[in-house]
Amino acid sequence: MAYDDNNIFAKILRGEAPCFKVYEDEKTFAFMDVMPQVDMHTLVIPKFPAENLFDLSPEYAAAMATTVQTVARAVKNASDKPGVMIAQLNGSEAGQTVFHIHTHIIPREGGIDLKFHARDLADFKLLEAQAEKIIQNL
């Protein structure tokens, strides 16, 4: 499959679609997942047109890993959860639904089930408040 410049994450990067931004640098962008599996579910994407890990340059993969580490620490602190799940899916068979590489940062604690992925829109006021809390922890 060829990279689709009209995927939602490409539109977010171009400013054509709204999001609740948490972090941005020269090579990466982090924002709230609007269909979260738990509160404070955050996504990190590279500013590089890659569908999956296999299409991503090593330079952008390294930048993405650094941003994931930075944002995951802030999410963990902001959520006050003891664990953080980091997930990155490659291809529809693996569960990828948006074909711009992205990493999920999902705060976790024992006994709490995850909601289904990409099913229900969250309350945007709640996402905005969660984004602010994460930003305060960066």
CB 81 within 8 A of CB 108: yes
**Each residue's pLDDT expressed in tens, for the chain with a length of 138 residues:** 689 999 999 999 999 999 999 999 999 999 999 999 999 999 999 999 999 999 999 999 999 999 999 999 999 999 999 999 999 999 999 999 999 999 999 999 987 667 667 678 899 999 999 999 999 999
In the chain, what are the domains? Answer: 8-136 (3.30.428.10)
Closest CA to 68 of 52, 55, 87, 96: 87
Active site residues: 102
**pTM across the whole model:** 0.93
